[in-house]
Amino acid sequence: MSRPVIGIASYRDRARWNIWDTDATVLQQGYVDGVHRAGGRAVVLPPDDTDADVLARLDGLLLPGGADIDPARYGAARHAQTDTPSADRDAGELLLLDAALAAGLPVLGVCRGLQLLALAYGGTLHQHLPDLVGHNGHCPAEGVFGEHPVHLVPGSLAAAVYGERTVVNSHHHQAVLDPGALHVTGRADDGVVEAAEDPSLPFVLGVQWHPEVFGDPELFAAFVAACAARSLQGAASSR
């Protein structure tokens, strides 16, 4: 059986390697490694807001972490601590996400990816968590990961992967305020939304932590398994 093909959204940033110091399409290698080790074939998708036709060739979509989403997309003014918006990334990823959900493709959202899921389901975001929770535990410093427990709803997709309690890493200053039609299935002790999913679809899950950073295999394994099932379903229907 061929490996399931999983698209991973990437972004444009300045990068330096070999003789180059230039704009580049970039992605943290941990996402590719996580998909590969779980038995999938990773395909990196640069920002592209023309169409979502590439999804016809994919078995799943992974939305990675990264810069803040433009608050104008959920009707809010920009907070002083919110990143400068990346219009091409926001547009391209939301286009892919909306089409993937409509097609019933497995979707995994990581950090920013969870927040995109919330917006796609009609929700909104907190723009700066320290204003809400009164501490910096979810992002102690730039490039420094926090660590805290998360409580997961029994019977949820997230709990099937991790159990009802797990300890996660954390590097974010924004979080889901209103999940829209998503079901919140995980929270930190301070109430911050840490996981949300759509139980009406086979695999649509967003997590606020970073499984790609410290080699957490369980979530990638569950996601790639769902993508493999989707691939088999597609192969059977085409016969």
Please give the positions annotated as active site. 111, 210, 212
Nearest to 48 by CA among 111, 1, 15, 96: 96
Which one-letter amino acid corresponds to residue 48? Answer: D
Query: What token pair was written down for 220?
Result: 């990638």
Relative orientation angle of helices 112-120 and 87-103, to the nearest 10 degrees: 60
Q: Residue by residue, what is the 3-state secondary structure of 83-148?
A: CCCCHHHHHHHHHHHHHHHHHCCCEEEECHHHHHHHHHCCCEEECCHHHHHCCCCCCCECCECEEE
Query: What token pair was written down for 159?
Result: 């709990």
Angle, CA of 170, 204 and 32, to the nearest 5°:
60
Rounded distance, CA 219 to CA 102, Å? 23
Length of the chain: 239
